[in-house]
């Protein structure tokens, strides 16, 4: 028997979220997202465990990425069809997000997109990789 169950597609109402604050920055990210990867992003992610740090959903050509614990909107990615240009809006409200460097955010976001576009999103390995990366930067 063939499995005909459709995957769950996350929507904004699936999680308590806040809007992108007035203090934000915008930069361009160059990254080719293939159709299979875009379909994975469009499904979004509804966290199931505490270690899953991200809730994201896709709406009107944009990917909204929120921290799961706080609901703060950290990134909004605006995709242009048939282009590798992604406009990124990033949270710069100090009480919500500590990064202030576009280049660092571009690197972090590329790492996240590597995880989020895999056939199966492994939030636990992503959490371990992020933790190890932070620990290796300590003086």
CA atoms within 13 A on the CB side of 114: 11
Tens digit of pLDDT for each residue in 24-71? 999 999 999 999 999 999 999 999 888 889 999 999 999 999 999 999
Q: pTM value?
A: 0.85
In three-state secondary structure terms, 87 is strand
Q: What is the DSSP string of 16-80?
A: ---PPPSSEEEEEEE----HHHHHHHHH-B---STT--EEEEEETTEEEEEETTT--EEEEEEE-
pLDDT at 2: 45
pLDDT-based confidence at residue 7 (cuts at 50, 70, 90)? confident
Please name the helix (run of DSSP H) or strand (run of DSSP E) that holds residue 88, with its range, or none.
strand 85-91
């Amino acid at each position: 028997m063939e499995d005909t169950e459709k995957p769950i597609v996350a929507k904004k109402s699936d999680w308590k979220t806040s809007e992108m604050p007035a203090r934000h920055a915008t930069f361009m990210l160059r990254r080719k997202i293939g159709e299979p990867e875009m379909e994975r992003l469009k499904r979004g992610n509804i966290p199931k465990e505490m270690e899953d740090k991200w809730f994201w959903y896709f709406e009107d050509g944009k990917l909204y990425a929120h921290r799961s614990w706080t609901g703060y909107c950290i990134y909004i990615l605006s995709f242009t069809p048939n282009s590798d240009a992604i406009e990124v809006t990033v949270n710069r409200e100090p009480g919500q997000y500590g990064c202030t460097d576009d280049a660092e955010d571009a690197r972090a976001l590329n790492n996240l997109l590597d995880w989020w576009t895999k056939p199966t999103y492994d939030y636990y390995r992503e959490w371990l990789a992020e933790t190890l990366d932070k620990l290796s930067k300590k003086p």
